[in-house]
Amino acid sequence: MTTPEIGKLEPVGLRSIWPDEARDFTPWLAQNLDLLGAELGMELELDRQEVTLPGGAGRVDILAKQVGSGATVVIENQLEVSDDGHCLRLLGYAASIGADILVWVARGFTEYHRSIVKWINNTDSINIYAVTVESWRIGESRAARFHLVESPQSESGTRRSSSDSPNRNQRYANFYRQVAEKLRRSELPPVGRGGWRGKWRSFQTGHPPHFYSLGLEDVGEARAYFEARGEDAQVVYDALRERRAEIDSELSGATIEWQDGHRWIALKTKASLDDPEEKHEETREWMASNLLKLRNVIQPRLDQIMAELQPPATGDDVDSPTTNDEQETTQ
């Protein structure tokens, strides 16, 4: 029996197969999302490629959808080792279109860029994957392979399955996205605490680490609240509590909770993530209007309290008085 000839597997440079990222690699990747999806553990469906974003936000290499959940997936690819330019563009695209999942494909990743990907995943703000691409040759045939190097991690340390439609984290993301954008337009910008995937979403007070927040609990309760945090949390909360009668009066008509353990002032209503979409719309409207109401009541008092907590100016911070001789010299 004749032994069949077995070719030698040899690595080859990416640009020997795809000389140009935009003209060669991006179209190939768009046609082979099943290979990338298999490595990520999710099914991807092409939406568009080379998508120009409004407002000068850039041009997305590939825009896809996760089959089942409908999550928006932004894919940024490069044929070289990861660099700051591609990293910045990827994050800019996510902010511009409200992406749910980011996929960064590169020849390799520096430890610095891997640390950025890990940090983003740990902030619980968005799912981001870092994937390397390799190219091989067997005789005259060519092959490519993806390798996942960074991904969102579950609490158990294993990669989350993204194939189910949709998971609870994505449902929270979908729920909060609309209300967060509405509050942003009302000049109440969100911050990373809580993240799109969590049960809570936080917004700026101008005095970090104190925040306004929204929460949707599994027990069937929605909350719009202010929470005092950090070293001066108890002092700030106590100062607000001294004004409780007037605050409660201005917040009349809502169910108000002063929670001493958490140091928060909350407005509450009945709601659940498992409610139908019609109820979600009602809950989002309640959250937006009540958080703005809470902000309008708390903010002037918080500004005053924080001003009073500022340390007095030292001699180094105050202009020393000039003598008569100095005045004459400067005049």
**pLDDT tens-digit series, residues 158-167:** 444 444 445 5
Task: Name the H helices within the chain.
Answer: 14-17, 26-31, 33-40, 84-97, 111-122, 168-185, 233-241, 244-250, 277-309, 324-330
Q: How confident is the model at residue 156 (pLDDT cuts 50, 70, 90)?
A: very low
Helix (H, G, I), strand (E, B) or coil at 200: strand
pLDDT at 138 > cutoff 90? no
Range 95-101 average pLDDT: 76
Q: CA-to-CA distance for 222 and 244, rounded, in angstroms?
A: 22
Phi, psi of 54, rounded to the nearest 5 degrees: -70, 160
Q: CA-to-CA distance for 110 and 29, rounded, in angstroms?
A: 22
Q: CA-to-CA distance for 223 and 266, rounded, in angstroms?
A: 6
Computed from CA positions of residues 79, 81, 83, 88, in that sequence, does the dihedral angle turn out positive or negative? positive
Q: CA-to-CA distance for 46 and 73, rounded, in angstroms?
A: 9
Q: Could you report the per-residue pLDDT of 234-252, keeping only the tens digit for each?
A: 999 999 999 999 999 999 8
Q: CA-to-CA distance for 185 and 134, rounded, in angstroms?
A: 44
What is residue 159's predicted lDDT score, i.e. its pLDDT?
A: 45
Task: Spell out where 118-270 has E strands.
Answer: 127-138, 141-150, 190-191, 200-204, 211-217, 221-227, 255-259, 264-270
Q: For the chain, first and last CA: distance in Å? A: 108
Phi, psi of 43, rounded to the nearest 5 degrees: -95, 125
Query: In 10 A of CB 70, how many CB atoms?
Result: 13
Asked if residue 130 lies in contact with residue 146, where contact means CB atoms within 8 angstroms, the answer is: no
pTM recorded for the entire structure:
0.52
What is residue 101's predicted lDDT score, i.e. its pLDDT?
A: 85
Structure tokens at 31: 């046609």
Q: Tell me the CA distances in angstroms from 229 to 38, 61, 306, one per residue in order.
A: 43, 41, 13
pLDDT at 21 > cutoff 80? yes
Q: Tell me the CA distances in angstroms from 251 to 68, 200, 216, 225, 247, one per residue in order.
A: 42, 22, 20, 12, 6
Q: How confident is the model at residue 279 (pLDDT cuts 50, 70, 90)?
A: very high
Asked if residue 128 lies in contact with residue 113, where contact means CB atoms within 8 angstroms, the answer is: no
